[in-house]
Amino acid sequence: MFDILSLILISIFFPIIVLVGKMLYKKENLSRKLILGLTITFLAMELLRFFVVASYYEGAVIPSKEVPYSFITLSCIVCLFAVFNKGKLGKIFQGAFCLTSLVPIIWALFDSAVYTNAYDTHAVAKALYFLECGIVLTIAFLLVSEQKITAWSNLWASILLAIFAVLDCLVITFWETKEAITLMWGITLIVSFVSIGAFYGIYLLACLLAKKHKDKMIDNGKENG
């Protein structure tokens, strides 16, 4: 219960803090620099999370059931491609990354095994996971404010999620991470698919509002002279 609360708090406040900072200190190319910095931080944190989890076990030998792997790992790889590839492929990855930015949070909400660990006495891995969720959302917001998302991105995001589902199935069956694929797993997957649509819908709404606001400003300007 408290875990979920803190997850939501951190993943809401992290983007807010970063965006407020961006608004306060208006500098040239700040958005781009923030994206680059956050992406590298994201990668570093993901690696750190792996090592932190590894260091709990004797001789750092991770049993297959406890490998800290989840959608966030895939998200990290996609984020790297989305930020550093400026070609057509990069745009596809951008759309997919932005629309799936809510999925790590959903995965954590439904299944606490993603971040909890029996040996994690100081909750370091948990804190890293929560912060990563915040970072994913922040990067997504910054990318969305820079570049437009097309309707095709829904498809790319769905494909990304499907790839993850297949991978997870493979992992569950071959690494025997869970008993079997449960009903909860399916529900989480469905909610994740819905979240893609929800994110796109919110994005469209925000675009509409921004456009209305802009029109109003232009009208006001015309009236004033």
* Size of the residue set binding another protein (CB under 8 A): 36
- Under the criterion CB under 8 A, does residue 60 sit at the interface with another protein? yes
- Under the criterion CB under 8 A, does residue 21 sit at the interface with another protein? yes
Tell me whether residue 60 or residue 208 sits nearer to another protein (CB atom).
60
Alpha carbon distance 131, 10 (integer Å):
7
Residues in CB range of 160: below 8 A, 6 or more apart: 74, 78, 96, 100
Alpha carbon distance 62, 207 (integer Å):
46
Query: Tokens for 191?
Result: 């909610």
Answer for which of 37, 51, 146, 201 binds another protein (CB under 8 A) is 51
Residue 149 has φ and ψ, to the nearest 5°, of -105, 130
Q: Of the ranges 9-17, 35-43, 148-156, 202-210, which one interacts with another protein (CB under 8 A)? A: 9-17
Q: Of the ranges 93-101, 124-132, 144-152, 154-162, which one interacts with another protein (CB under 8 A)? A: 124-132
Written as one string, the DSSP assignment of 91-110 is: HHHHHHHHHTTTHHHHHHHH
Minimum distance between the CB of residue 104 and another protein, rounded to whole angstroms? 16
Answer for which of 30, 41, 110, 120 binds another protein (CB under 8 A) is 120
x-marked contacts with another protein along 155-174 as a string, rule CB under 8 A:
---------------x---x
Instruction: Let me know if 13 is exposed, middle or buried by CB neighbors in 10 A (0-12, 13-18, 19+).
Output: exposed
Question: What is the SS3 string spanning 147-161?
Answer: CCCCCHHHHHHHHHH
Which residues of this protein are in contact with another protein, per CB under 8 A?
A: 2-3, 6, 9-10, 13, 17, 20-21, 24-25, 51, 54-55, 59-64, 67, 84-85, 120-124, 126-128, 130-131, 170, 174-175
